[in-house]
C-alpha cells in the first residue's frame, strides 16, 4: 500500500508564519519499483511502470518522508538544495538514516555559541516543560483514584526539585523519576510493564517508538534549517553519534504522541492483531504502516504552527543568550 499524505507545514528562517502555513509535508511508503523524481520543478512519485501517482510543486515543499527502498536522482537532490526542502530517508521500521536537502551548516556563530554553552538553565526549562505537559495529561483524566492524585503531586514535587538541581545528572534523575510515575498512570487502561525504548516488548511500547521516531525526524528537519549542530544539546549532553539537541527539543512534544497512543488504543484504531510478534518483539505489519503513521502524525500536524514557533523562538533565544524565562514553552491543549 502506498500512502501519500499531505499537510500544511514549513519553516525556513526567512519565512513568516503566514508563509509557513503554505508549506507541505509528504509521507510516502514505497513499494517495489516505485520512484521519486522531478519534472518542471515538480516532485513526482511514479509506479514501476512509470505511471505518476503523485505530484507536488517544489516551491511549496517543506519535507518529504521516504519510508522504504527507493532510487533518488542527483537532479532531485539538487532541487532539494535549491528549493530548501528536506528529503528524510527512513527504514521500513521508520528509523531515519539520512536527511538530504535544506541545511544551514555554515551558521558558525550559532555553533560557536552551542559549543561554549555550559549553563544548566535551558536544560531545566526543557525538563520542566516536559513534566508540566505530563501533569496536564494526568490531570485531564476524569476519574482520579488515590494513586493518580499522588502521581500528580509527585510530578509537582519533581518540577520544584529541578530548580534546585546542581548537575545534569540531577535534572535527568528527577525527569526520569517523573516519567516513571507518569507512564504508569497515563497508560492505566492497558497492561503496562514500563517504558522500554526500542525493545518493543508490547504493542504500547512499539506504538510509542513509532510515534517518537516520527516526532524526532519532524523536529530534526526543522533544526537542520537553522544550522544547529544536532549533536550538541543542553539537557542531553554530547555523546558519541547521538543527536543530543534533537533529543532535547522533542521532550516538550512527546506528550502529543503519548496522548495519541492512548486515544488510539481506546478507540480501537490500534490493534494487537496488526503486529507481528517474534522473539517477544512487536513489529507493525508493513501493510498497516500507512494507516498507523497517518494517525500518529496527526497530532504533529495539528500542532505544526506551535512546533514551528517553538523551534524559531528557541533559535532566537539561544542566539541572543536570553534568560531561561524568555525561552519558549509548549503547552498541550
Give dist(CA 56, CA 54) in Å, integer: 7
User: What pLDDT score was predicted for residue 3?
Assistant: 44
Domain boundaries, the chain: 4-101, 108-326
User: What pLDDT score was predicted for residue 31?
Assistant: 75
What is 45-82 written as a DSSP string? Answer: EE-TT--EEEEEEGGGEEEEEEES---B-HHHHHHHHH
Domain 108-326 maps to which CATH number in 1.20.120.920, 3.30.830.10, 1.10.490.10, 3.30.70.270? 1.20.120.920
Give dist(CA 11, CA 316) in Å, integer: 14
Angle, CA of 54, 55 and 59, to the nearest 5°: 145
Q: Pairing state of beta strands 61-67 and 86-90?
A: parallel
41 phi/psi in degrees, rounded to 5: 60, 25
User: What pLDDT score was predicted for residue 239?
Assistant: 86
Burial 255-291 (b: 16+ CB within 10 A, else e): bbbbbbbbebbeeebbeeebbeeeeeebebeeebbbe
DSSP element (H, E) containing 135: helix 121-139
User: What pLDDT score was predicted for residue 72?
Assistant: 78
Residue with cell 523519576: 177
Give dist(CA 96, CA 246) in Å, integer: 13
Find, among 224, 313, 298, 308, the residue nearest to 21 by Cα: 308
| Cell reading at 310 | 517553538
Q: What is the pLDDT along the chain (333 residues), one digit of tens a residue?
A: 344 443 332 222 344 555 566 778 888 888 777 788 888 888 888 888 888 888 889 888 888 888 888 777 788 888 888 888 888 888 877 778 888 876 677 789 999 999 999 999 999 999 999 999 999 999 999 999 999 999 999 999 999 999 999 999 999 999 999 999 999 999 998 878 889 888 888 999 999 999 999 999 889 988 988 889 999 999 998 888 899 999 999 999 999 999 999 999 999 999 999 999 998 899 999 889 989 999 999 999 899 889 989 999 999 999 999 999 999 999 998
User: What pLDDT score was predicted for residue 7?
Assistant: 36
Q: What is the CA radius of gyration of the chain?
A: 20
99 phi/psi in degrees, rounded to 5: -120, 125
Give dist(CA 67, CA 34) in Å, integer: 12
Residue with cell 502555513: 21
| Cell reading at 103 | 541545511
- Fold observed for domain 4-101: Ribosomal Protein L15; Chain: K; domain 2 (3.100.10)
Angle, CA of 12, 37 and 19, to the nearest 5°: 20
Amino acid at each position: 500500500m502506498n500512502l501519500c499524505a499531505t499537510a500544511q507545514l514549513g519553516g525556513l528562517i526567512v519565512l513568516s508564519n503566514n508563509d509557513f502555513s503554505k508549506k507541505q509535508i509528504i509521507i510516502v511508503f514505497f513499494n517495489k519499483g516505485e520512484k521519486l523524481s522531478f519534472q518542471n520543478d515538480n516532485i513526482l512519485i511514479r509506479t514501476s511502470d512509470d505511471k505518476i501517482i503523485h505530484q507536488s510543486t517544489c516551491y511549496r515543499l517543506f519535507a518529504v518522508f521516504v519510508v522504504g527502498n527507493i532510487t533518488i536522482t542527483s537532479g532531485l537532490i539538487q532541487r532539494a538544495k535549491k528549493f530548501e526542502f528536506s528529503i528524510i530517508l527512513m527504514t521500513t521500521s521508520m528509523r531515519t538514516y539520512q536527511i538530504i536537502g535544506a541545511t544551514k551548516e555554515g551558521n558558525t556563530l550559532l555553533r560557536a555559541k552551542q559549543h561554549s554553552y555550559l549553563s544548566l538553565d535551558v536544560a531545566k526549562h526543557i525538563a520542566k516543560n516536559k513534566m508540566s505537559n505530563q501533569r496536564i495529561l494526568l490531570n485531564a483524566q476524569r476519574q482520579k483514584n488515590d494513586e493518580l492524585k499522588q502521581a500528580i503531586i509527585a510530578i509537582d514535587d519533581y518540577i520544584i526539585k529541578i530548580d534546585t538541581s546542581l548537575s545534569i545528572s540531577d535534572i535527568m534523575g528527577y525527569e526520569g523519576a517523573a516519567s516513571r510515575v507518569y507512564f504508569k498512570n497515563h497508560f492505566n487502561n492497558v497492561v503496562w510493564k514500563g517504558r522500554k525504548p526500542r525493545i518493543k516488548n508490547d504493542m504500547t511500547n512499539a506504538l510509542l517508538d513509532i510515534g517518537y521516531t516520527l516526532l524526532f525526524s519532524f523536529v530534526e528537519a526543522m533544526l537542520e534549517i537553522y544550522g544547529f549542530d544536532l549533536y550538541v544539546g543542553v539537557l542531553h549532553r554530547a555523546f558519541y553519534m547521538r543527536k543530543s539537541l534533537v533529543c532535547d527539543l522533542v521532550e516538550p512534544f512527546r506528550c502529543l504522541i503519548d496522548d495519541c497512543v492512548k486515544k488510539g488504543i481506546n478507540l480501537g484504531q490500534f490493534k494487537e492483531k496488526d503486529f507481528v510478534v517474534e522473539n517477544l518483539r512487536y513489529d507493525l505489519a508493513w501493510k498497516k504502516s500507512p494507516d498507523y503513521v497517518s494517525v500518529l502524525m496527526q497530532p504533529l500536524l495539528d500542532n505544526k504552527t506551535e512546533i514551528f514557533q517553538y523551534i524559531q523562538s528557541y533559535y532566537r533565544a539561544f542566539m541572543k543568550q536570553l534568560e531561561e524565562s524568555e525561552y519558549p514553552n509548549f503547552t498541550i491543549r
